[in-house]
């Protein structure tokens, strides 16, 4: 039987998701695209309840050692780690793929 994890989105990651949604809706004037992307992010996060280890560890050694993984959602990278002992996946950050990823990783907390 496959293990099923609980998925938790940290306050920081959720604020990033909302910031991305609001930017696309308000600045790019594409509210439907913003809504669709936000739903896709939530759907991707929920998919991690099964086999969260299927995605690659990040390249940066500091976070790689802590088990931080990444998954693409359109042009964004969602970062997370799995707590196998508590069967919980923690979504810790979401960043535009062309941003400095080391800087983005440095801002997140591993809750």
Structure tokens at 64: 């790689």
Tokens, residue 88: 């919980």
Residues 6 or more apart whose Cβ sits within 8 Å of residue 108: 10, 12, 13, 79, 92, 93
User: Which residue in the block uniquely carries the two structure tokens 């693409």?
Assistant: 72
The domain limits of the chain are 6-107
Q: What share of the chain is helix, strand, coil (3-state, %, to 5)?
A: 45, 25, 30
pLDDT band at residue 102 using 50, 70 and 90 as cut-offs: confident
Mean pLDDT lowest for which of 2-11, 39-48, 69-78?
2-11
The better pLDDT of the pair 102, 85 is held by 85
CATH superfamily of 6-107: RelE-like (3.30.2310.20)
Q: For position 105, what pLDDT does the model report?
A: 84
């Amino acid at each position: 039987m496959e293990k099923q994890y609980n998925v938790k989105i940290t306050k920081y990651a959720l604020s990033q998701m909302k910031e991305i949604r609001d930017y696309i809706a308000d600045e790019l004037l594409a509210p439907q695209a913003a809504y669709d992307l936000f739903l896709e992010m939530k759907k991707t996060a929920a998919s991690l309840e099964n086999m969260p280890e299927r995605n690659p560890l990040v390249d940066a050694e500091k976070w790689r050692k802590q088990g931080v993984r990444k998954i693409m959602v359109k042009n964004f990278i969602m970062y997370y780690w799995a707590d196998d002992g508590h069967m919980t996946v923690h979504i810790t950050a979401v960043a535009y793929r062309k941003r400095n990823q080391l800087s983005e990783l440095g801002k997140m907390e591993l809750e």
